[in-house]
């Protein structure tokens, strides 16, 4: 499978600081998606970046994709306590039929007030 | 539009029993995917259904099965429950498949005793 692997596994920062988490994968992808999960609830979609894109922004979020290094990073600027959550990257590779779809293990972000 | 709904939200079963979980996707979405989340294994893809057909399948034993109805509602069934099946089961819907944004339900938390 083309499992994404996030790092770090856990990150603790102060409110107002920036948080960066990374996702690495092993094969060619169609797109990469970042999701957030609050305390064992459902996942919320943050950003989708396609394989031919290098950077996308959404509010305080910035995602980069380096297909040559097979890695992506999610930057949260000016973090808030409400950003405390687990963040997952989702790798979508291959064609619709028979593709393997995997999430990484996630990065647990704690933003201290 | 109403979001993805999952029923029941919580479930307690004993080993050897079977269980059926239900997922109602966002209106108009034709793709429904199922994921299992456990502390040890993270988020793992179970299967994806599109227009009543299973389109993708993860690496789970045959005890895990699913189906999709003509109104796109989906059910997953786990037979002969094992202790290790205790998990949060998440359902996600999307317009055309996992190449696009997935919208997750709140999950069904299953405890097997």
- Which residues are registered as beta bridge partners of A74? A21, A63
Query: Which residue has better confidence, B2 or B33?
Result: B33
- Residue A101: pLDDT band with limits 50, 70, 90: low
pLDDT given at position A94: 63
**Which residues from chain B sit within 8 angstroms of residue A104, using beta carbons?**
42
The Cα B81–Cα B71 span in angstroms is 28
Q: Are B58 and B45 in contact (CB under 8 A)?
A: yes
Beta bridge partners, A45, equal A35
pLDDT bin (cut points 50, 70, 90) of residue A36 is very high
Q: Using one digit for the tens of pLDDT, what is the confidence trace for B70-105?
A: 999 999 999 999 999 999 999 999 987 767 888 999
Q: Mutating which of B24, B26, B39, B42 best tests the A interface, going by the most A Cβ atoms within 10 A?
A: B42
User: Residue A58: pLDDT above 70?
Assistant: yes
Q: What is the DSSP string of B4-64?
A: -EEE-SEEEE-TT--EEEEEEPPTT--EEEEEEEETTTEEEEEEEEETTEEEEE-S--TTE
Q: Are B30 and A96 in contact (CB under 8 A)?
A: no
Chain-centroid distance of CA A54 in Å reads 14
Residue A96 predicted with pLDDT over 80:
no
Residue pair A28/A78 in contact by the 8 Å Cβ criterion: no
Instruction: Please provide residue B83's backbone torsions phi and psi, each rounded to the nearest 5 degrees.
Output: -55, -35
Kindly identify which residue of chain B lies nearest to residue A89, measuring between CA atoms.
Answer: B43
How much is the pLDDT for A97?
Answer: 39
């Amino acid at each position: 499978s083309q499992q994404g692997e996030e790092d770090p596994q856990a990150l603790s920062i102060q409110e107002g600081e920036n948080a960066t988490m990374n996702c690495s994968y092993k094969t060619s992808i169609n797109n990469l998606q970042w999701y957030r999960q609050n305390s064992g609830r459902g996942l919320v979609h943050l950003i989708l970046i396609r394989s031919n894109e290098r950077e996308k922004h959404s509010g305080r979020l910035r995602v980069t994709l380096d297909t040559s290094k097979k890695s992506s990073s999610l930057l949260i600027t000016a973090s808030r306590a409400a950003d405390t959550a687990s963040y997952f990257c989702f790798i979508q590779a291959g064609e619709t039929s028979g593709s393997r779809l995997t999430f990484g293990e996630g990065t647990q972000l704690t933003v201290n007030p | 539009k109403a979001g993805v709904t999952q029923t029941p939200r919580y479930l307690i079963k004993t080993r050897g029993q079977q269980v059926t979980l239900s997922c109602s996707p966002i209106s108009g979405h034709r793709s429904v995917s199922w994921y299992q989340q456990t502390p040890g294994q993270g988020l793992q893809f179970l299967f994806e259904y599109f227009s009543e057909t299973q389109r993708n399948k993860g690496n789970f034993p045959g005890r895990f099965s699913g189906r999709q109805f003509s109104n796109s509602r989906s059910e997953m069934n786990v037979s002969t429950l094992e202790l290790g099946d205790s998990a949060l089961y998440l359902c996600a819907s999307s317009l055309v498949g996992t190449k696009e944004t997935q919208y997750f339900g709140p999950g069904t938390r299953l405890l097997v005793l």
